[in-house]
Amino acid sequence: MSRILVTGSADGLGRAAAEALLAAGHDVVVHARNDERAADLGELSGRGAQVVVGDFADRDAVREVADELNASRPLDAVIHNAGVWSGPAVMPVNIVAPYLLTALLRGPRRLVYLSSNAHLGGRPSLEGVDWRGGSAGSYADSKLFVTTLAAVVARLRPGVLSNAVDPGWVPTRMGGPSAPDSLELGHQTQQWLASSDDPEALTTGGYWYHGRRLQPHRAVHDEAFQDRLLRSLAEETGTAL
């Protein structure tokens, strides 16, 4: 049985992944942005899930969540599911928060980062990026950055399985009711990468879509770009990976 954190698990893909992991017998930690959203996790906490609360647009809240988790039984895996589609929270939530959790959490040997095929339209440039969310950020850029983060963690931490997953455009609150992809398939790959002992799941540095490993944006495996991204995030947050 693994101990697995699923961020952004009050609804949508995060909720589906948390429910499936609980059903499989894992020790699951679920996360909500605030107390109101945490109330929606009552059913999962009743089934044994630990609940952590923190607004990932706030770096101090991310650090508090990391401190709370580091004070308890170590995590085996993290599914970095929390994300926003638009607005000033895009960069803080979609890339700064998973970066900080990756730097701060002790123990996880499997890391799964939620990407999107939108990352293919992202710009591999860090010039003018507003990491603090003073202005609206580019969703495509944020997903390129987090996909690159997954790849650089795989390179720098050889003992860790680090992968990025495109769940598809699914009918969640973010995706909208007309989204064409399967909600059921949307969570399965990240659940599998976080917990399975299948040999194919025990690989690292991949970009996945519905159980298939695909080629990401060419910048994702550009080590010079990876290093620039890490330096920028470390300087911005005061926390090195």
Q: How many CA atoms lie within 13 A of 114 on its CB side?
A: 29
Cα–Cα dist 10/170, whole Å? 16
Contacts of 121 (CB under 8 A, 6+ apart): 140
Q: Residue by residue, what is the 3-state secondary structure of 180-240?
A: CCCHHHHHHHHHHHHHCCCHHHHCCCCEEECCEEECCCHHHHCHHHHHHHHHHHHHHHCCC
User: Which residues are tagged catalytic?
Assistant: 139, 143
* H helical segments located in the chain: 12-23, 35-38, 42-46, 59-70, 90-91, 97-104, 139-156, 183-195, 223-237
Contacts of 158 (CB under 8 A, 6+ apart): none
Task: Identify whether the C-beta of residue 5 lies closer than 8 Å to the C-beta of residue 29.
Answer: yes
Instruction: Kindly give, in sequence order, each residue whose CB lies less than 8 Å from that of residue 198, ignoring residues fewer than 6 positions away.
Output: 192
Please enumerate in sequence order all residues whose Cβ is within 8 A of that of 26, keeping only pairs 6 or more positions apart, or say none. 1, 2, 3, 4, 195
